[in-house]
Amino acid sequence: MKTLLLIFLIGISSLASSQDSLRVMYHNILNFPSAGANRIDTLRTILSYAKPDVYVVCELETEVGGQMILDQALNINGNSNYQMASFVDGGTFTNNLLFYNTDKLGFVSQEEIGTVLRDINTYKLYYKAPNLSALTDTIYMNFFACHLKAGSADFEQRNTEVLQAKYYMNSLVDRMENVFLGGDLNVYSAFESAILSIKNTGEIPLFDPINSTGNWHNDWSYSGVHTQSTRNSSLQGGAGGGMDDRFDLIFVSEDVLDNDNGIKYISNTYKALGQDGNHFNDQINAGTNTSAPDSVINALYYASDHLPVIMDVVFDETASVSNSQVKDLKLYYNSQLKALVIDDLTDEFRIKIYDASGREVRDLTSSSNQIQLSELKAGLYLYKLKYHDKFYTSKFLID
């Protein structure tokens, strides 16, 4: 009876770990901190309510501003679980930065994609699954932070900027799993060339989770998705005019929608925080807005002229193992050769190797039956090998 109970509890624990969730949030924070560093209290209110695991901002001016957000709006009330990526000053005084919850996520790398105006920043994270050391693979996510050219007549430049990101994805197409691309895109319509390029250009099509198509600008029928402006008149240099544009968006790759790589979008969680659909051409805190507590609605008004956009996904690491996986691969570590030895493969294959934290340490294509690993330290490692469109996944120990 005790054995049955133990098996049951293990099953419950495994199920819980495979259904951990993640909240992603993109936010234009309006020339922070020069447009009013005292707005940190409004960001604190918003973030304490939304509790994002990934928080991507644009219009951040300085590293000092990023540290303020980290120390005074995220790591508060005794918490210390948030970290930020490296701040990169693109010289435009309006930069992007990613913050992440280290309880759930680990940092892999970041890069900058240059455009004629502002860098597009890309960040790679991995999921710290509770049983990571026993997994056959880990789950990676790629986040792109964009702040495209503003102006109704500048659609061609926005498209040029977007294409730089899509070219980058093409160059790393085999590593571009679980892609999130978002930020202040400054677009007026779902038919703008930049949006069409995001969706259709290149080898990695991206999708709007709510599939909202149309001319979003100044159309009351899209009032439920508008993100700008939270104010009727200019405040701290931000735009006025009320809620009448969908400038802020998040697009995702198909695997996020289909759970092909261990992540699945949770239906109906994509939204502009604070948007109740009843404030077309009005400020977000006019009259009644019951989509969030009054304190949060007022904080959204004062924090920025843009609403943040959020969406939730659920992890399911069992989905990251292909159904075509086979179990009879003869692969083992030879301590004398300091190499992985692979039997019975006669053609070219691809192998990725990860350490126990989920960090990728090798990625190569080869036809040799020996993979030299002399530079790796002792410890547990995971591999994922693709051969003739089948996946072999397991772990090995270097002692």
At residue 319, the pLDDT reads 53
CA angle (45 as vertex; 42, 48 as ends), nearest 5: 145
C-alpha count within 13 angstroms, C-beta hemisphere, residue 159: 17
Residue 247 to residue 242: CA distance in whole angstroms:
13
Q: Which domains does the chain have, with CATH numbers?
A: 20-319 (3.60.10.10), 322-398 (2.60.40.3080)
pLDDT tens digits for range 291-350: 999 999 999 999 999 999 999 999 986 554 443 444 457 788 888 888 888 877 778 888
264 contacts 258 by C-beta, under 8 angstroms: yes
Pairing of strands 271-272, 105-113: unpaired
129 contacts 315 by C-beta, under 8 angstroms: yes
At residue 14, the pLDDT reads 41
At residue 289, the pLDDT reads 98
> What residues of the chain score a pLDDT lower than 50?
1-18, 134-136, 320-327
At residue 131, the pLDDT reads 67
For 130, the token pair is 């509770």
Residue 285 to residue 341: CA distance in whole angstroms:
64
Stated as kind and residue range, the H or E segment containing 351 is strand 349-355
Tell me, what DSSP letter sits at residue 336?
A: T
Continuous H helices in 22-151: 40-50, 63-69
Q: What is the residue type of 75?
A: N
Continuous H helices in the chain: 2-18, 40-50, 63-69, 155-171, 193-200, 254-258, 294-303
CA angle (311 as vertex; 279, 63 as ends), nearest 5: 90
66 contacts 84 by C-beta, under 8 angstroms: yes
202 contacts 166 by C-beta, under 8 angstroms: yes
At residue 393, the pLDDT reads 74
Continuous H helices in 29-154: 40-50, 63-69
For 354, the token pair is 């990860």
Intra-chain end-to-end CA distance of the chain, in Å? 38
At residue 19, the pLDDT reads 66
Strands ordered across the beta sheet of 248-253: 105-113, 120-127, 140-147, 179-184, 248-253, 206-207
